[in-house]
Amino acid sequence: MVTLQQLIFKLSEFWSTHGCLLQQPLDVEMGAGTMHAETFLRVLGPEPWSVAYVQPSRRPADGRFGENPNRLFKHHQFQVILKPAPDEVQQLYLQSLEACGIDLRAHDVRFEEDNWESPTLGAWGIGWQILFDGQEITQFTYFQQAGGIDLSPISVELTYGLERLAMALQDVDDVFDLEWANGVKYRDVRHRDEVEQSKYAFGQIDMPRAEFTALHRTFFDQYYRLAETLLASGLVLPAHEYCLKCSHMFNLLDASGGVGVTERMAYILRVRQLAVAIAKAWIGEKPEEPLAAASA
């Protein structure tokens, strides 16, 4: 039986022997490992870079109060970036599954078209979801653009859904039944946080709905302003962190039903404009227009 933490060891070991730097999660709330500076910024520009890390990923709208066997407020991604993308990357990926104890010959492992896109990051790529007997366990993407910038060389991103992969390996139907370590269940480690975070995400707190929404809008605006100021001061990495905070505030507003459809689009555009400006600043390009226009 491969425990969740053994799975992390095995993937870390595999990718470290294949030239990846082992990084740590970015200590800011985010929806996916792609948003980590080690991915979002490092894929820009010509310098080779190979890195692997675990990123806890918060998706407020997926919170289910710890009651759903498959959906989580926070799940864990194992993220690998290889730049430039090696010719043998599919083979390497399959070897990493073997390293985790999967017998490829006994299962049905498939690369099915699934092109990844993140409107808030101005990023998209071509690739597949990797299906393991019909279950998606990894997103495999050749990045084409990030922060609105065409990439050269092309990076490949492998995002393993650790819980999904572990469920397949341990043959369990409920994520909370996973063995995190020997004798310690996922439930013991994560359940309380899932319940409490879900209540928060859906606004079930001692505060009227309108006030909850207004407060998070204010947070968004303040983080946004700070990010702009940091960027204008030439501090790209702090600006990036506050851009992530904006994105998370937007996700919370979205989950609690605080934004309408049209407004939703406007929020996404604002975060995107910030992300694009940060990406340009990282590679030393001047933004085309002053960012202040974006916050109008």
Partner 1 sequence: MDRELLIEIGVEELPAAWLPGLTRQLHDRVQARLKELRIAPGAPVESYGTPRRLTAHVARIAERQEDLEEEISGPPVSAAIDKDGRPTPAALGFAKKQGVGFEALGRKQTPRGEYLVFRNHVRGKSAVDALPDLMSGLLRDLSFPKQMHWDAVLDDARGELPFGRAIRWLLFLYGGRVVPFTIGRAANAAGPLVQDVESGALTYGHRFLATSGRAGRSIKVRSFDEYQARLKEHFVVLDHTERRERIVRSLELHARRLGGRVQLKEHATLIEEVADLVEFPAVVAGFFDLAFLALPEEVLVTTLVHHQHYFPVVSDRGELKQAFLAVVNTQPQDERLIAKNTERVVTARLRDARFFWESDRRIPLESRLERLHTLLFHKKLGSYRDKAERIERVAQRIASEAFGVPTEAEHAAKAARLAKADLTSDMVFEFPELQGTMGGIYAREQRLPEQVWKAIYFHYLPIGVESDAPPSREQLGAASVSWAAVSLADKLDTVVGLLGAGEKVTGSRDPYGLRRQMHGIVRVLMDLPELTGLNRELDLSQLAPDAHADVAGFAVERVRYALEQRGFPIEVVRAATASLAISPLRARRVAEALQAMRTSADFQALAVLFKRVKNIAREGKDDGPVDRTALGEPAETALVGELDRRRSRIAEATDGADYKRAFVEIAGLRPAVDRFFLEVFVMADDARTRSARLALMAELRDLILQIADISEIVPQTE
Cis? peptide before 153, omega within 30° of 0: yes
CB of 141 to partner 1, least distance (A): 10
134 versus 234: smaller Cβ distance to partner 1: 134
CA atoms within 13 A on the CB side of 194: 22
The b/e string for 110-125 (b: 16+ C-beta within 10 A; e otherwise) is: eeeeeebebebbbbeb
Q: How far is the CB of 139 from partner 1 (least distance, A)?
A: 14
Q: Which residues contact 85 (CB under 8 A, 6 or more apart)?
A: 142, 153, 154, 155, 156
Looking at the Cβ atoms of 183 and 284, the one nearer to partner 1 is: 284
Distance of closest approach, residue 295 Cβ to partner 1, in angstroms = 22
Q: How far is the CB of 94 from partner 1 (least distance, A)?
A: 7
DSSP 110-125: EEEE---EEGGGTEEE
Specify the 3-state DSSP secondary structure of 287.
Answer: coil
Shorter beta-carbon distance to partner 1: residue 142 or 219: 142
CB of residue 24 to partner 1, shortest distance in Å: 25
Contacts to partner 1 by CB under 8 A: 46, 48, 68-70, 84-88, 90-91, 94, 104-113, 115, 126, 128, 132-135, 142, 144, 150-154, 167-168, 171, 173, 260-262
Residue 80 forms beta bridges with which residues? 52, 158
- Residue 70 or 233 having the CB closest to partner 1: 70
CB 25 within 8 A of CB 51: no
Q: Is 109 exposed, middle or buried (0-12, 13-18, 19+ CB in 10 A)?
A: middle
Compute the least distance from the CB of residue 5 to partner 1, in Å.
22
Q: Which is nearer to partner 1, 183 or 261 (CB)?
A: 261
The span from the CA of 78 to the CA of 55, in Å, is 6
> What sign results for the dihedral spanned by CA atoms 163, 168, 169, 174?
positive
- Whether the bond between 60 and the residue before it is cis, its omega within 30 degrees of 0, is no
Question: To the nearest whole angstrom, how small is the minimum distance from the Cβ of residue 160 to partner 1?
Answer: 16
Q: Which is nearer to partner 1, 134 or 183 (CB)?
A: 134
Complex with partner 1: residue 169 or 231, whichever CB lies closer: 169
